[in-house]
Amino acid sequence: MSKFNIEAGEKPYADGKFKTLLRALKVSIKIKGPFSLFISFLGFPAALLPVILAGQLAILTDELQILMGGDRAVSYALTIFAIVVTLYVAQVLIGAIQRHVNGIDEIKIGRYIQRAVMHHKCNVKYKYIENHDDFQNRIAFTQDHAGRTMAQSMGSIISLLQRVVAFVAASFAMWSVNPIIVLLLYVTAVPAAILAYIQQDETFRRRTKWMEEGHLAMHYYQTILGAYHYGNMQEVRHYGLFDYMKKRWRTIADAFVTKNRKLMAKHVRFNIVADFLRSAVYLGVLLIAAHAIYVNPTVGLGAFTLVFALTGQLQGVTSEVFVGIMTLKQNIPYMQEFFYLDTLEREDMRSGTAISTGEIVFEGVNFSYPNTEAIVLRDINICIRNGEKIAVVGENGSGKSTFISLVCGMFEPQEGKIHVGAVQPVQARSGVSVVFQDFAHYDSSLRDNITVSDKSRNASDDEIMALLRSINVADVIEEQTEGLSELVGSFSEKTNNLSGGQWQKISIARAAYRKDAKIMILDEPTSALDPLAEAQLYHNFSGLTGDKTTILISHRLGITATVDRILVFHEGRIVEDGSHADLIKQDGYYAEMYRAQAQWYQ
């Protein structure tokens, strides 16, 4: 978390604070829409209403005093009263409309944040998914904190400008009564602003510095509940780990909660002092106004009414302006953290390039994963010809899956060149079909789970079933009441979640459905299948792969005798390359692995 920890001195985003605020304001205006913008601009003249209303109340008070002496007709006082009522009703209505519109805007901005986060996560280069530049923590922080704070801040920028208008107007009106009152209210608003600044700063640092602790506590909690995988519950229960896991969770959670509680308690104490100071000053201001009228009765009771009406207004708006500025300043890091996502490298999404050949070429490729210096692949030079069937074998950690990730364009090599179908790997994706080792489960119909790999193809159910039968995976569909229309997954109405082997068959069907693929990659495609299902799949291996260039990764070497070539990986290098018969004759690393597995089947 070193790159993300603000206390480590790293800047989350390169833009200056003012530029960040302008950018947030532009986004806010873009999201609001015409009606919301109209209400926002209406808020500027509406910000003058409290001052105008207080002025009219002062006039009304003086008129009533004159009426008591019998020196003025009642009609003028009634006119002023009607104006006061009209202004008050207008203020209430505009305030209600603004609150309603602001609530809608906050929802709109929240949705914009969510869409932006999804867009970034789906379009950044895959190295960020592997946590380059601490991406996972930063995206989690944006989802949990920065996005919400960003939405609130964007909505408050225009409101803050409106409060500035109200602040200037109220200050001018009160200054005409007694400048000391204005200065006193200004001074007493400063502590609240400083406290808001400190609290926001501490909150931001707490969220960034303590986030890993909070996530670790939640990890233990979710593990106990089996939220990540129901198998967790079986193991926790079987080994009697509940008390152990609960103790681990409680230790971390208690420490995390204690830190939060201490910080919150400090903030509450400070806020109580600030609130007491504001209340004391409010009484003091009224006494000053009363004394001014006592010393100079010609000022009139209207002045007291004006002070009475505007003191709370000016005190509130002064605190809101000072606190709003401080809070907005402290929210800038949240905005910068959100806008940081725009600075990330994007993947070239021109993956619709139709490739005419399944040839794959690696030239002098070296590769290390993000945030590590360990070289995972070393000096890979290989040419896989169009239509060849290739098996990739080796022990765990030898670089097999990394090799596949590079072919799929998930990463770029630090050195060397890769061409898939004569183009860059990421541009060849429409011509590559893959069964990933960690294949996806989609909570939808079985039809959708299969056809999602080729959304441009419009095959009938009969065509789909014929394809599934040709590769021996049709039994998953035939066992379901609704066939291809059966809804599967944890969230389906019947909670019809398939077994691991059934899901793997669906992933194989998904890869086979991609009609125009020139290359097929199978990364441990039978790891969840029983031996009989595995044998059936490999029995019709040519039916699955056709004339496509095929790369098969498997720890089970029984299938390797049927492929054209075998690439043997060891410590990130291709140490052997040849047919099954050739490699057995060489009596090298592959022959040793094959003999070791052959004993399993004797």
Q: Does residue 453 surpass a pLDDT of 80?
A: yes
Torsion of Cα atoms, 558 then 559 then 561 then 563, to 10°: -160
Q: Which residue has the higher pLDDT, 580 or 300?
A: 580
Q: Write the CA distances from 602 to 101, 445, 583, 595, 599, integer angstroms.
A: 75, 42, 21, 11, 5
Q: Does residue 6 surpass a pLDDT of 70?
A: no
Strand 444-445 and strand 487-488: pairing? antiparallel
Coil, helix or strand at residue 521 = strand
State the angle between helix axes of 461-470 and 500-513 in degrees (0 to 180), rounded to the nearest 10.
110
Structure tokens at 233: 């519950």
Domain definitions of the chain by residue range:
6-343, 360-440+516-601
| C-alpha–C-alpha distance, residues 356 and 548, integer Å | 11
Whole-structure pTM value: 0.67
> So what's the pLDDT on residue 78?
86
| C-alpha–C-alpha distance, residues 402 and 127, integer Å | 12
Does the domain at 6-343 match CATH 1.20.1560.10? Answer given as: yes
The band of 197, judged by pLDDT with boundaries at 50, 70 and 90, is low
The band of 206, judged by pLDDT with boundaries at 50, 70 and 90, is low
**Secondary structure of 438-480 in HEC code, one letter for each residue:** CCCCCCEEHHHHHHCCCCCCCCCHHHHHHHHHHCCCCHHHHCC
Q: Rounded mean pLDDT of the chain?
A: 80
Does the domain at 360-440+516-601 match CATH 3.40.640.10? Answer given as: no
Residue 378 host element (H or E): strand 375-384
Q: Does residue 422 surpass a pLDDT of 50?
A: yes
> Is the separation of the CB atoms in 209 and 10 below 8 Å?
no
Least confident of 56-70, 153-167, 300-314, 431-445: 300-314
Q: Does residue 353 surpass a pLDDT of 50?
A: yes
| C-alpha–C-alpha distance, residues 545 and 519, integer Å | 9
Q: DSSP E strands: which ranges in 537-589?
A: 549-553, 565-570, 573-578
> So what's the pLDDT on residue 277?
67
Mean pLDDT in residue range 367-382: 89
> So what's the pLDDT on residue 11?
46
- Taken in order 44, 45, 48, 53, is the CA torsion positive or negative? negative
Strand 573-578 and strand 565-570: pairing? antiparallel
The partner residues of 166 in beta bridges, in order of sequence, read none
Mean pLDDT in residue range 415-438: 90
Tell me the per-residue pLDDT of 219-238, one tens digit each, with 9 for 90 and over. 666 666 554 444 456 666 65
Structure tokens at 519: 């290359």
The amino acid sitting at 596 is A
> So what's the pLDDT on residue 460?
93
> So what's the pLDDT on residue 13?
52
Mean pLDDT in residue range 160-165: 84
Tell me the per-residue pLDDT of 255-305, one tens digit each, with 9 for 90 and over. 777 777 777 777 677 667 766 766 667 677 677 777 666 666 655 677 777
**Phi, psi angle pair for 26, to nearest 5°:** -60, -45
> So what's the pLDDT on residue 558?
75
> So what's the pLDDT on residue 71?
61
Least confident of 88-92, 285-289, 372-376, 460-464: 285-289
> So what's the pLDDT on residue 267?
67
Return the closest-CA partner of residue 24 out of 154, 215, 125.
154
The band of 8, judged by pLDDT with boundaries at 50, 70 and 90, is very low
The band of 239, judged by pLDDT with boundaries at 50, 70 and 90, is low
> Is the separation of the CB atoms in 214 and 144 below 8 Å?
no
Range among 165-179, 378-392, 529-543 rated most confident = 378-392
